Amino acid sequence: MAYKVDHGYDYLFKIVLIGDSGVGKSNILSRFTRNEFCLESKSTIGVEFATRTLQVGWPPS
């Protein structure tokens, strides 16, 4: 399946969080992408994905 993607950005960063169980990786992801943090969250089993688009220093000086 072919498709065209309109890339409206100059840089794309993909970040992978790796760590022991129960240290807060999912909460860091939730805080960064949705500005939410839950102290009573359950342990996540498997993989979790999220995205966020940031505009930094635009337009250039």
pLDDT digits (tens, 9 = 90+) for 5-61: 666 778 888 999 999 888 999 999 999 999 999 988 888 888 889 998 888 876 666
Distance between CA atoms of residues 43 and 23, nearest Å: 9
pLDDT over 90 (residue 3):
no
Contact 53, 9 (CB under 8 A): yes
Contact 22, 43 (CB under 8 A): yes
Single pTM value for the model: 0.68
User: By CB neighbour count within 10 A (0-12 exposed, 13-18 middle, 19+ buried), where does 26 fall?
Assistant: middle
pLDDT digits (tens, 9 = 90+) for 16-31: 999 988 899 999 999 9
Tell me the CA end-to-end span of the chain in Å, nearest whole number: 41
3-state secondary structure (DSSP) of residue 53: coil
